[in-house]
């Protein structure tokens, strides 16, 4: 029996598969709609298995907030073309809605949820069959608090969630903080949320950087005193190229190397520890201002208030409990 256009259209509406895929499935199933649906599902599984080792770096990221709960999901695919497809974006929205309704707590919870009687994990495999691309639920995050907000950045590649300790504040206030998280990519809410391990690592880096700078200053001063431009001898390659250009003589190179070796050793052995520690602590403070949400300059403030100061001016009790940020692009 020939497959009719009406049957093809019906199967396409039921599955979202392409016209030719629907026609082939109906032909193979001898016009049995249930069998055709199963054929399309198996095709999706085959495509998913075949493309398992492919890189799914594109996709759609969406967040949603409902009262005291907010979630964000990232559905990944291989190409931006598929990521912008209405069916793909629609599936992402459906997955997010199911996660929010169930107040899911993990990515495995989300995969096990059902939409119209079908598990989300299976729906993703089916969508993979329709597009011919690898697809996966790449990320899931959630927050819970008396007030929550979700912000979806233009292009559906970045979304943020922020949880607050107090409800009843103007929504724009909450949204501004969510946009701050999107724009400034903080590491933690405040200093208390930055681990001691991270702080110790930053202090160690700051100490080594400060020591290197102090040594370099001494070396540069000694080179200038000897009549040698420090920029001409800051590497072996520069020494050779500048000698070839006639900017340095062989004697200059020998003299520069001797100064660099001698002054570096002497300065490194006599660095004032207290000064180094103070400079390093200052650098740690700058780091914490940059990576802690409440310490950051508020991007919406014209007078350079911190996010903390902006919130306290609105309500002294208002504070950020937590935040999440999912970004498909490299920060």
pTM score, whole prediction: 0.74
Structure tokens at 202: 């930053």
- Give how far Cα 63 sits from Cα of 70, 97, 118, 182, 283, Å: 7, 9, 22, 12, 35
CA 20-25-30 angle, 5° bins:
125
| Contact status, residue 219 vs residue 230, Cβ threshold 8 Å | yes
Task: Identify the bridge partners of residue 60 per DSSP, sorted by sequence position.
Answer: 75
Domains and CATH numbers, the chain: 5-50 (1.10.8.10), 58-186+320-327 (3.30.479.20), 196-289 (no CATH)
Q: What's the pLDDT at 49?
A: 44
- CA 114, 117, 123, 127 dihedral sign is negative
**Nearest in space to 16 (alpha carbons), one of 99, 141, 126:** 126
Between CA 325 and CA 331 the distance in angstroms is: 11
Between CA 25 and CA 33 the distance in angstroms is: 9
Q: What's the pLDDT at 331?
A: 64
| Segments of the chain scoring below 70 in pLDDT | 1, 3, 11, 13-19, 22, 37, 39-55, 330-331
Q: What's the pLDDT at 251?
A: 93
What element of type H or E holds 260? helix 250-269
Task: Identify the bridge partners of residue 59 per DSSP, sorted by sequence position.
Answer: 76
**DSSP 8-state code for residue 326:** E
% of residues, the chain, pLDDT over 90: 71
Q: What's the pLDDT at 55?
A: 66
């Amino acid at each position: 029996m020939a497959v009719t256009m009406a049957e093809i259209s019906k199967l396409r509406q039921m599955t979202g598969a392409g016209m030719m895929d629907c026609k082939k499935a109906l032909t193979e199933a001898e016009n049995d709609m249930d069998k055709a649906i199963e054929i399309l599902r198996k095709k999706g599984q085959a495509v998913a298995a075949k493309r398992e080792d492919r890189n799914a770096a594109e996709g759609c990221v969406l967040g949603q907030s409902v009262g005291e709960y907010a979630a964000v999901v990232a559905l990944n695919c291989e190409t931006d073309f598929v990521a912008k497809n209405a069916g793909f974006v629609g599936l992402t929205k459906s997955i997010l809605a199911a996660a929010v309704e169930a107040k899911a707590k993990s990515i495995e919870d989300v995969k096990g949820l059902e939409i119209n009687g079908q598990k989300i994990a299976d729906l993703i495999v089916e969508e993979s069959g329709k597009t011919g691309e690898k697809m996966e639920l790449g990320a899931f995050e959630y927050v819970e608090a008396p007030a929550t907000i979700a912000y979806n950045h233009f292009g559906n590649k970045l979304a943020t969630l922020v949880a607050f300790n107090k409800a009843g504040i103007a929504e724009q206030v909450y949204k501004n903080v969510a946009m701050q998280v999107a724009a400034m990519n903080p590491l933690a809410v405040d200093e208390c949320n930055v681990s001691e391990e991270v702080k110790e690592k930053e202090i160690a880096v700051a100490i080594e950087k400060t020591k290197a700078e102090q040594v370099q200053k001494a070396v540069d001063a000694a080179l200038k005193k000897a009549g040698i431009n420090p920029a001409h001898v800051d590497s072996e390659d520069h020494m050779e190229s500048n000698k070839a250009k006639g900017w340095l003589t062989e004697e200059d190179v020998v003299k520069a190397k001797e100064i660099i070796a001698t002054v570096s050793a002497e300065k490194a052995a006599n660095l004032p520890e207290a000064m180094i520690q103070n400079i390093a602590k200052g650098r740690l403070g700058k780091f914490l201002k940059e990576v802690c949400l409440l310490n950051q300059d508020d991007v919406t403030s014209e007078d350079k208030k911190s996010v903390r100061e902006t919130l306290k001016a609105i309500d002294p009790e208002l504070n950020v409990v937590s935040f999440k940020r999912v970004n498909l692009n490299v920060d």
